[in-house]
Protein backbone atom coordinates (compact mmCIF):
# COMPACT_ATOMS: atom_id res chain seq x y z
CA UNK A 1 0.00 0.00 0.00
CA UNK A 2 1.18 3.41 -1.08
CA UNK A 3 0.51 6.22 1.41
CA UNK A 4 1.06 9.98 1.10
CA UNK A 5 1.24 12.45 4.00
CA UNK A 6 1.18 16.17 3.19
CA UNK A 7 2.81 18.12 5.97
CA UNK A 8 4.77 14.91 6.44
CA UNK A 9 7.73 16.65 8.06
CA UNK A 10 5.55 18.57 10.50
CA UNK A 11 5.02 17.58 14.10
CA UNK A 12 1.86 15.53 13.50
CA UNK A 13 2.99 14.29 10.08
CA UNK A 14 6.20 12.83 11.50
CA UNK A 15 4.32 11.26 14.38
CA UNK A 16 1.73 9.79 11.99
CA UNK A 17 4.50 8.47 9.70
CA UNK A 18 6.27 6.78 12.62
CA UNK A 19 3.01 5.23 13.84
CA UNK A 20 2.16 3.89 10.38
CA UNK A 21 5.65 2.48 9.82
CA UNK A 22 5.58 0.86 13.25
CA UNK A 23 2.24 -0.83 12.66
CA UNK A 24 3.46 -1.87 9.19
CA UNK A 25 0.01 -2.42 7.73
CA UNK A 26 -3.14 -0.39 7.24
CA UNK A 27 -6.70 -1.65 7.15
CA UNK A 28 -8.11 0.80 4.62
CA UNK A 29 -11.82 1.49 5.26
CA UNK A 30 -12.21 -1.79 7.08
CA UNK A 31 -10.52 -3.94 4.42
CA UNK A 32 -8.02 -6.63 5.41
CA UNK A 33 -4.74 -5.11 6.67
CA UNK A 34 -2.35 -4.51 3.75
CA UNK A 35 1.40 -3.98 4.17
CA UNK A 36 2.58 -0.38 3.84
CA UNK A 37 5.09 -0.56 1.01
CA UNK A 38 5.67 3.13 0.35
CA UNK A 39 5.18 6.27 2.41
CA UNK A 40 5.65 9.62 0.68
CA UNK A 41 6.22 12.58 2.98
CA UNK A 42 5.47 15.89 1.26
CA UNK A 43 6.55 19.04 3.05
CA UNK A 44 8.50 22.28 2.68
CA UNK A 45 11.08 20.81 5.06
CA UNK A 46 12.83 17.45 5.00
CA UNK A 47 11.61 14.82 7.46
CA UNK A 48 13.90 13.68 10.32
CA UNK A 49 16.70 11.18 9.72
CA UNK A 50 14.96 8.15 11.28
CA UNK A 51 12.18 8.43 8.71
CA UNK A 52 14.53 9.06 5.79
CA UNK A 53 16.47 5.93 6.73
CA UNK A 54 13.38 3.73 6.36
CA UNK A 55 13.44 2.11 2.88
CA UNK A 56 9.67 2.60 2.57
CA UNK A 57 9.94 6.39 2.94
CA UNK A 58 10.25 8.90 0.09
CA UNK A 59 10.52 12.61 0.84
CA UNK A 60 9.22 15.23 -1.59
CA UNK A 61 10.31 18.70 -0.56
CA UNK A 62 8.67 21.91 -1.71
CA UNK A 63 5.60 24.12 -1.59
CA UNK A 64 2.54 21.89 -1.99
CA UNK A 65 0.76 24.29 -4.35
CA UNK A 66 3.82 24.50 -6.59
CA UNK A 67 4.44 20.74 -6.49
CA UNK A 68 0.86 20.10 -7.61
CA UNK A 69 1.11 22.58 -10.47
CA UNK A 70 3.83 20.81 -12.43
CA UNK A 71 3.25 17.44 -14.02
CA UNK A 72 6.65 16.05 -13.05
CA UNK A 73 6.44 16.99 -9.36
CA UNK A 74 2.74 16.14 -9.20
CA UNK A 75 3.66 12.56 -10.14
CA UNK A 76 6.07 12.49 -7.19
CA UNK A 77 3.47 13.82 -4.73
CA UNK A 78 0.68 11.57 -5.96
CA UNK A 79 1.94 8.33 -7.54
CA UNK A 80 -0.80 6.73 -9.64
CA UNK A 81 -1.17 3.81 -7.25
CA UNK A 82 -1.60 5.91 -4.10
CA UNK A 83 -4.22 4.34 -1.85
CA UNK A 84 -4.56 7.07 0.73
CA UNK A 85 -3.54 10.68 1.28
CA UNK A 86 -3.39 12.14 4.77
CA UNK A 87 -3.72 15.87 4.11
CA UNK A 88 -2.17 17.59 7.13
CA UNK A 89 -0.25 20.41 5.39
CA UNK A 90 -1.54 23.84 6.40
CA UNK A 91 -0.54 27.30 7.43
CA UNK A 92 -1.37 27.65 11.13
CA UNK A 93 -4.03 29.83 12.73
CA UNK A 94 -1.88 32.75 13.83
CA UNK A 95 -0.20 33.01 10.42
CA UNK A 96 -3.54 32.92 8.58
CA UNK A 97 -4.96 35.66 10.77
CA UNK A 98 -1.91 37.86 10.16
CA UNK A 99 -1.67 37.06 6.42
CA UNK A 100 -5.03 36.40 4.78
CA UNK A 101 -3.56 35.59 1.37
CA UNK A 102 -1.12 33.06 2.82
CA UNK A 103 -4.02 31.12 4.35
CA UNK A 104 -6.06 31.26 1.16
CA UNK A 105 -3.05 29.92 -0.71
CA UNK A 106 -1.76 27.26 1.68
CA UNK A 107 -5.02 26.03 3.18
CA UNK A 108 -7.72 26.78 0.66
CA UNK A 109 -6.10 26.67 -2.80
CA UNK A 110 -3.75 23.81 -1.89
CA UNK A 111 -6.61 21.65 -0.61
CA UNK A 112 -8.64 22.26 -3.77
CA UNK A 113 -5.61 21.53 -5.98
CA UNK A 114 -4.91 18.32 -4.06
CA UNK A 115 -8.52 17.19 -4.43
CA UNK A 116 -8.45 17.94 -8.16
CA UNK A 117 -5.19 15.99 -8.49
CA UNK A 118 -6.71 13.02 -6.64
CA UNK A 119 -9.78 13.24 -8.89
CA UNK A 120 -7.56 13.18 -11.98
CA UNK A 121 -6.09 9.84 -10.84
CA UNK A 122 -9.52 8.26 -11.40
CA UNK A 123 -8.72 5.63 -8.76
CA UNK A 124 -10.81 7.21 -5.98
CA UNK A 125 -8.07 7.26 -3.33
CA UNK A 126 -8.98 7.83 0.28
CA UNK A 127 -8.23 11.32 1.54
CA UNK A 128 -8.21 12.03 5.27
CA UNK A 129 -8.45 15.78 5.78
CA UNK A 130 -7.17 17.24 9.03
CA UNK A 131 -9.70 19.90 9.90
CA UNK A 132 -9.79 21.66 13.23
CA UNK A 133 -11.76 22.61 16.31
CA UNK A 134 -11.12 26.14 15.01
CA UNK A 135 -14.05 25.78 12.61
CA UNK A 136 -16.11 26.58 15.69
CA UNK A 137 -16.04 30.09 16.97
CA UNK A 138 -17.82 32.28 19.43
CA UNK A 139 -18.30 36.02 19.11
CA UNK A 140 -20.85 38.49 20.49
CA UNK A 141 -22.77 38.48 17.20
CA UNK A 142 -22.38 34.74 16.60
CA UNK A 143 -22.65 32.96 19.95
CA UNK A 144 -21.40 29.38 19.85
CA UNK A 145 -23.11 26.80 22.08
CA UNK A 146 -21.19 26.03 25.28
CA UNK A 147 -21.04 22.34 24.36
CA UNK A 148 -20.25 21.35 20.76
CA UNK A 149 -22.25 18.41 19.46
CA UNK A 150 -21.58 16.42 16.29
CA UNK A 151 -24.25 18.47 14.46
CA UNK A 152 -23.35 21.93 15.80
CA UNK A 153 -23.17 24.61 13.09
CA UNK A 154 -19.60 25.96 12.81
CA UNK A 155 -19.38 29.76 12.74
CA UNK A 156 -15.63 30.27 12.31
CA UNK A 157 -14.17 33.47 13.77
CA UNK A 158 -10.76 33.15 12.10
CA UNK A 159 -9.63 32.81 8.50
CA UNK A 160 -7.95 29.53 9.44
CA UNK A 161 -11.28 28.21 10.70
CA UNK A 162 -13.13 29.37 7.56
CA UNK A 163 -10.49 27.79 5.31
CA UNK A 164 -10.65 24.48 7.18
CA UNK A 165 -14.45 24.51 7.05
CA UNK A 166 -14.41 25.20 3.31
CA UNK A 167 -11.91 22.34 2.94
CA UNK A 168 -14.41 20.05 4.69
CA UNK A 169 -17.12 21.07 2.22
CA UNK A 170 -14.85 20.43 -0.76
CA UNK A 171 -13.83 17.02 0.61
CA UNK A 172 -17.51 16.19 1.20
CA UNK A 173 -18.57 17.04 -2.35
CA UNK A 174 -15.57 15.41 -4.04
CA UNK A 175 -16.53 12.34 -2.01
CA UNK A 176 -20.22 12.50 -2.90
CA UNK A 177 -19.26 12.77 -6.57
CA UNK A 178 -17.03 9.67 -6.24
CA UNK A 179 -13.79 11.54 -7.05
CA UNK A 180 -12.15 10.60 -3.75
CA UNK A 181 -13.15 8.72 -0.62
CA UNK A 182 -12.83 11.66 1.73
CA UNK A 183 -12.99 11.74 5.50
CA UNK A 184 -12.98 14.95 7.50
CA UNK A 185 -11.49 14.80 10.99
CA UNK A 186 -11.50 17.81 13.30
CA UNK A 187 -8.40 17.88 15.49
CA UNK A 188 -8.66 19.31 18.97
CA UNK A 189 -6.00 21.51 20.59
CA UNK A 190 -2.94 19.26 20.65
CA UNK A 191 -0.89 19.46 23.81
CA UNK A 192 1.84 18.74 24.78
CA UNK A 193 3.43 19.31 21.37
CA UNK A 194 7.21 18.66 21.62
CA UNK A 195 9.88 20.73 19.90
CA UNK A 196 9.96 24.45 19.26
CA UNK A 197 7.11 26.98 19.25
CA UNK A 198 5.33 27.55 15.91
CA UNK A 199 2.99 30.27 14.62
CA UNK A 200 -0.18 28.66 15.90
CA UNK A 201 -2.21 30.85 18.22
CA UNK A 202 -2.71 27.68 20.27
CA UNK A 203 1.05 27.16 20.61
CA UNK A 204 1.19 28.28 24.24
CA UNK A 205 -1.09 25.40 25.29
CA UNK A 206 2.01 23.25 24.70
CA UNK A 207 4.71 25.80 25.48
CA UNK A 208 3.40 26.53 29.00
CA UNK A 209 4.01 22.84 29.86
CA UNK A 210 6.96 21.96 27.63
CA UNK A 211 9.25 24.90 28.47
CA UNK A 212 8.94 24.69 32.29
CA UNK A 213 9.60 20.92 32.16
CA UNK A 214 12.85 21.82 30.38
CA UNK A 215 13.60 24.42 33.05
CA UNK A 216 12.80 27.27 30.66
CA UNK A 217 10.51 30.27 31.03
CA UNK A 218 7.18 30.10 29.21
CA UNK A 219 4.28 32.44 28.72
CA UNK A 220 0.57 31.87 29.09
CA UNK A 221 -1.05 34.83 27.32
CA UNK A 222 -4.66 34.11 28.39
CA UNK A 223 -6.41 34.31 31.78
CA UNK A 224 -6.30 31.29 34.11
CA UNK A 225 -10.01 30.56 33.64
CA UNK A 226 -9.63 30.10 29.85
CA UNK A 227 -10.68 26.53 29.01
CA UNK A 228 -9.47 24.39 26.11
CA UNK A 229 -10.45 21.11 24.45
CA UNK A 230 -7.20 19.17 24.65
CA UNK A 231 -5.86 15.99 23.12
CA UNK A 232 -2.43 14.42 23.33
CA UNK A 233 -0.29 13.89 20.21
CA UNK A 234 -0.70 10.10 20.53
CA UNK A 235 -4.49 10.23 20.78
CA UNK A 236 -4.66 12.71 17.91
CA UNK A 237 -2.65 10.44 15.62
CA UNK A 238 -4.73 7.45 16.75
CA UNK A 239 -7.85 9.37 15.72
CA UNK A 240 -6.43 10.17 12.29
CA UNK A 241 -5.51 6.51 11.68
CA UNK A 242 -8.93 5.36 12.93
CA UNK A 243 -10.52 7.68 10.34
CA UNK A 244 -8.62 5.82 7.61
CA UNK A 245 -9.38 2.38 8.99
CA UNK A 246 -13.08 2.69 9.87
CA UNK A 247 -15.39 0.79 7.56
CA UNK A 248 -17.81 2.81 5.41
CA UNK A 249 -20.74 2.02 7.69
CA UNK A 250 -18.79 2.69 10.90
CA UNK A 251 -17.54 5.99 9.54
CA UNK A 252 -20.96 7.38 8.66
CA UNK A 253 -21.73 10.80 7.15
CA UNK A 254 -19.49 13.12 5.15
CA UNK A 255 -19.80 15.72 7.90
CA UNK A 256 -16.55 16.17 9.81
CA UNK A 257 -15.84 14.03 12.86
CA UNK A 258 -14.97 15.87 16.07
CA UNK A 259 -12.13 13.98 17.76
CA UNK A 260 -12.38 13.43 21.53
CA UNK A 261 -10.83 15.88 23.99
CA UNK A 262 -10.46 16.55 27.67
CA UNK A 263 -11.49 20.00 28.90
CA UNK A 264 -9.19 21.93 31.21
CA UNK A 265 -8.63 25.60 31.95
CA UNK A 266 -5.08 26.88 31.65
CA UNK A 267 -5.20 27.31 35.44
CA UNK A 268 -6.03 23.59 35.75
CA UNK A 269 -3.28 22.79 33.25
CA UNK A 270 -0.80 24.69 35.42
CA UNK A 271 -2.06 22.86 38.51
CA UNK A 272 -1.54 19.53 36.73
CA UNK A 273 1.99 20.64 35.83
CA UNK A 274 2.60 21.42 39.49
CA UNK A 275 1.47 17.92 40.49
CA UNK A 276 3.89 16.44 37.94
CA UNK A 277 6.92 18.71 38.37
CA UNK A 278 6.36 20.79 41.49
CA UNK A 279 6.07 24.51 42.20
CA UNK A 280 9.41 25.20 40.47
CA UNK A 281 7.73 24.31 37.17
CA UNK A 282 4.80 26.67 37.45
CA UNK A 283 7.02 29.46 38.75
CA UNK A 284 8.47 29.53 35.22
CA UNK A 285 5.13 30.53 33.69
CA UNK A 286 4.70 34.21 32.86
CA UNK A 287 1.01 35.18 32.83
CA UNK A 288 1.34 38.43 30.88
CA UNK A 289 -1.73 38.69 28.60
CA UNK A 290 -1.41 38.96 24.81
CA UNK A 291 -4.55 40.50 23.33
CA UNK A 292 -3.91 39.21 19.79
CA UNK A 293 -3.63 35.59 20.96
CA UNK A 294 -6.49 36.03 23.43
CA UNK A 295 -8.75 37.39 20.71
CA UNK A 296 -8.29 34.23 18.64
CA UNK A 297 -8.27 31.68 21.45
CA UNK A 298 -11.32 32.99 23.27
CA UNK A 299 -13.47 32.31 20.19
CA UNK A 300 -12.75 28.56 20.33
CA UNK A 301 -15.10 26.29 22.23
CA UNK A 302 -13.66 24.07 24.95
CA UNK A 303 -16.34 21.45 25.52
CA UNK A 304 -16.97 18.91 22.79
CA UNK A 305 -19.42 16.06 23.19
CA UNK A 306 -17.79 13.74 20.67
CA UNK A 307 -20.47 11.04 20.52
CA UNK A 308 -19.64 9.92 16.99
CA UNK A 309 -15.93 9.55 17.82
CA UNK A 310 -16.88 7.51 20.88
CA UNK A 311 -18.84 5.21 18.56
CA UNK A 312 -15.57 4.60 16.70
CA UNK A 313 -13.88 3.68 19.97
CA UNK A 314 -12.04 6.99 20.26
CA UNK A 315 -11.85 8.23 23.83
CA UNK A 316 -10.17 11.29 25.35
CA UNK A 317 -7.30 11.22 27.83
CA UNK A 318 -8.37 10.52 31.38
CA UNK A 319 -6.97 13.85 32.55
CA UNK A 320 -4.55 16.56 31.44
CA UNK A 321 -2.13 15.30 34.08
CA UNK A 322 -2.04 11.98 32.19
CA UNK A 323 -1.23 13.91 29.02
CA UNK A 324 1.71 15.66 30.74
CA UNK A 325 3.00 12.32 32.06
CA UNK A 326 2.75 10.87 28.52
CA UNK A 327 4.90 13.77 27.28
CA UNK A 328 7.45 13.18 30.04
CA UNK A 329 7.69 9.47 29.19
CA UNK A 330 8.03 10.14 25.47
CA UNK A 331 10.49 13.05 25.69
CA UNK A 332 12.89 12.24 28.52
CA UNK A 333 15.65 14.31 26.91
CA UNK A 334 13.44 17.41 26.92
CA UNK A 335 12.69 17.21 30.65
CA UNK A 336 15.21 18.58 33.15
CA UNK A 337 13.01 19.18 36.20
CA UNK A 338 12.57 16.32 38.70
CA UNK A 339 9.28 14.50 38.15
CA UNK A 340 6.96 13.53 41.00
CA UNK A 341 5.50 10.03 40.84
Of 60-68, 122-130, 169-177, 192-200: span binding its own copies (CB under 8 A)? 169-177
Nearer to its own copies, 156 or 203 (CB): 156
250 binds its own copies (CB under 8 A): no
327 is catalytic: no
Q: How many residues lie near its own copies (CB under 8 A)?
A: 24
Of 33-41, 60-68, 158-166, 259-267: span binding its own copies (CB under 8 A)? 158-166
| Nearest approach, Cβ of residue 22 and its own copies (Å) | 33
105 binds its own copies (CB under 8 A): no
170 binds its own copies (CB under 8 A): yes
151 binds its own copies (CB under 8 A): yes
146 binds its own copies (CB under 8 A): no
159 binds its own copies (CB under 8 A): yes
Catalytic residue among 160, 179, 300, 320: 160
Of 12-20, 52-60, 251-259, 265-273: span binding its own copies (CB under 8 A)? 251-259
State the SS3 of the chain.
Answer: CEEEEECCCCHHHHHHHHHHHHHCEECHHHCCCEECCEEEEEECCCCCHHHHHCCCEEEEECCHHHHHHCHHHHHHHCCCCEEEEEECCCCCHHHHHHCHHHHHHHHHHHHHHHHHHHHHHCCCCEEEEEEEHHHCCCCCCCCCCCEECCCCCCCCCCHHHHHHHHHHHHHHHHHHCCCCEEEEEEECEECCCCCCCCCCCCCHHHHHHHHHHCCCCEECCCCCCCEEEEECHHHHHHHHHHHHHCCHHHHCCCCCEECCCEEEEHHHHHHHHHHHHCHHHHCCEECCCCHHHHHHHCCCCCEECCHHHHHCCCCCCCCHHHHHHHHHHHCHHHCCCCCCC
Residues carrying an active site annotation: 160
Q: Which residues sit at the interface with its own copies, rule CB under 8 A?
A: 100, 141-142, 151-157, 159, 162, 165-166, 169-170, 172-173, 176-177, 252-255
Amino acid sequence: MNIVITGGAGFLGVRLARALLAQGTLSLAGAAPAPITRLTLVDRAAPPADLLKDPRVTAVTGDLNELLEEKRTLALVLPTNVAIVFHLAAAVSGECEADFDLGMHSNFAATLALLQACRALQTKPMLVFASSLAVFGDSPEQPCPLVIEDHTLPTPQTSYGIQKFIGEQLVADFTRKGFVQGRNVRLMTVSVRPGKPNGAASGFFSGMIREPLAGLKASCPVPRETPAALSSPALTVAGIIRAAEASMSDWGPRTALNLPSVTATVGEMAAALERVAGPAAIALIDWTPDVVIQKIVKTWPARVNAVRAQGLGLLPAHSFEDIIREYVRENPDAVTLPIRP
